[in-house]
């Protein structure tokens, strides 16, 4: 089979352009050292405080991203995603590599910090005021006799998402994560401003179960979408009984309700 020289030339040029485009997609405009410097500066960590640091250039959804991970000498692990072109932080999180409050003798493990105080600690750490965020989850986590609070919220001005775990004993931040890409726009999904509050949804659930606040443990409640409807999705335990439910966030009516007894 004969090949037309003009066709061959066009093919070569097209291949060259494709290869150049591919190379361009992976090419970073900031250096690896610069990405690490951005991460350390944001974390407020000095190079002398680092036990190890690991950085890799990756492609995520057609975007060149530096994945920067480092561990400090006091056992905190940080993980950053940094745009390799602009140097902007896409996502960051920090987690304690050891549960420092395990060192507290069991007899001295007192819940000195309330859920409301934990929310204030998380907001202060994130640099946010209560009227600048929309809280979507606030719950108590009891694991192996250790108690902490899980708190998640969105910033209403830029849609950034924050997740916190706060010690109920000391009020220290055990872990936190910030997602700068996860935008929450109710208007894009048809959400109206008229919706029942988190406290109202909690009261509805407890009233339906016919239980008192003091009887409840492990209460979890967050906003989510179910078939395009904004709902409060939650669960809690009373004794050996677990309740799961969904409440329409606009009307306050129950979308689902289930009760399971662990015999």
- Asked if the structure places residue 32 within a domain, the reply is yes
In this structure, are 104 and 179 located in the same domain? yes
- Determine the pLDDT at residue 205: 94
Could you give the strand order of the β-sheet that contains 241-248, starting from the edge strand earlier in sequence?
Answer: 217-226, 229-238, 241-248, 254-261
Question: Which residues are 133's β-sheet partners?
Answer: 155
* Beta pairing, strands 133-143 & 146-155: antiparallel
Which of 93, 73, 84 shows the shortest CA–CA distance to 27?
Answer: 84
Residue 139 inside a domain? The answer is yes
DSSP structural state of residue 88: -
Q: Look at residue 202 and tell me if it is in a domain.
A: yes
Same domain, 143 and 130: yes
Domain assignment of residue 154, given as a range: 100-184
For residue 27, the model assigns a pLDDT of 54
Are 62 and 131 contained in the same domain?
no
Looking at the structure of the chain, the number of domains it has is 3
Burial string for 124-162 (b: 16+ CB within 10 Å, else e) reads eebebeeeebebbbbbbeeeeebbbbbbbbbbeeeebbb
CATH code, domain with 79: 3.10.450.40
Q: Considering only CA atoms, which of 172, 252, 242, 168 is closest in space to residue 204?
A: 252
Decide: residue 16, CB within 10 A, 0-12 exposed, 13-18 middle, 19+ buried: exposed
Residue where a domain stops, chosen among 184, 199, 216:
184
Contacts of 150 (CB under 8 A, 6+ apart): 137, 138, 139, 140, 141, 163, 164, 165, 220
Token pair belonging to 162: 């924050």
In a domain, 5, yes or no: no
The answer to whether the CB of 136 falls within 8 A of the CB of 197 is: no
Looking at residue 183, its pLDDT comes to 36
Cα 108 → chain centroid: 31
46 and 106 part of one domain? no
Name the domain boundary from 139, 169, 184. Answer: 184
Alpha helices in the chain, H assignment, sequence order:
5-26, 32-43, 115-126, 198-209
Residues 170 and 112 in one domain: yes
Give the pLDDT score at 38: 93
In a domain, 10, yes or no: no
Question: Same domain for 113 and 93?
Answer: no
User: Per-residue confidence of the chain (263 residues) as pLDDT tens digits?
Assistant: 444 544 444 444 445 444 444 444 445 589 999 999 999 999 889 988 887 788 999 888 778 899 999 878 766 788 999 999 989 888 888 776 545 555 566 666 678 888 999 999 999 888 899 888 888 888 888 876 678 899 998 887 766 888 999 888 878 888 888 877 433 444 434 444 467 887 889 899 999 999 998 899 888 887 776 766 778 888 999 988 999 999 998 889 999 999 988 76
121 within domain boundaries: yes
Q: Which of 40, 66, 98 is the last residue of a domain?
A: 98
162 and 110 within one domain:
yes
This model's pTM is above 0.75: no
Structural domain includes residue 213: yes
pLDDT at site 236: 92
Tell me the Ramachandran region of residue 17: left when phi exceeds 0, alpha when psi lies from -120 to 50, beta otherwise. alpha
Same domain, 83 and 104: no
Q: Which pLDDT score, from 0 to 100, does residue 154 have?
A: 83
Residues 109, 179, single domain; the answer is: yes
* Pair (205, 243) in one structural domain: yes
């Amino acid at each position: 089979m004969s090949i037309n020289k003009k066709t061959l030339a066009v093919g070569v040029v097209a291949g060259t352009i494709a290869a150049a485009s591919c190379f361009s997609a992976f090419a970073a405009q900031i250096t690896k050292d610069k990405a690490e410097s951005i991460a350390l500066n944001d974390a407020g960590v000095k190079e002398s405080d680092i036990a190890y640091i690991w950085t890799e250039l990756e492609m995520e959804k057609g975007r060149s991203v530096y994945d920067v991970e480092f561990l400090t000498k006091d056992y905190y692990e940080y993980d950053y995603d940094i745009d390799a072109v602009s140097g902007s932080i896409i996502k960051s999180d920090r987690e304690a590599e050891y549960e420092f409050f395990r060192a507290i003798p069991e007899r001295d493990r007192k819940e000195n910090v309330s859920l409301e105080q934990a929310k204030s600690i998380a907001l202060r750490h994130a640099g946010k005021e209560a009227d600048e965020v929309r809280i979507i989850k606030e719950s108590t986590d009891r694991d192996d006799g250790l108690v902490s609070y899980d708190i998640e919220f969105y910033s209403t001005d830029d849609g950034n998402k924050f997740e916190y775990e706060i010690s109920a004993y000391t009020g220290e931040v055990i872990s936190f994560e910030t997602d700068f890409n996860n935008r929450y726009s109710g208007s894009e999904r048809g959400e109206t401003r008229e919706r029942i509050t988190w406290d109202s949804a909690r009261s509805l659930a407890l009233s339906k179960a016919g239980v008192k606040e003091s009887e409840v443990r492990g209460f979890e409640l967050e906003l989510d979408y179910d078939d395009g409807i904004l709902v409060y999705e939650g669960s809690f335990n009373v004794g050996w009984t677990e309740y799961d439910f969904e409440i329409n966030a606009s009307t306050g009516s129950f979308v689902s309700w289930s009760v399971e007894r662990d015999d």
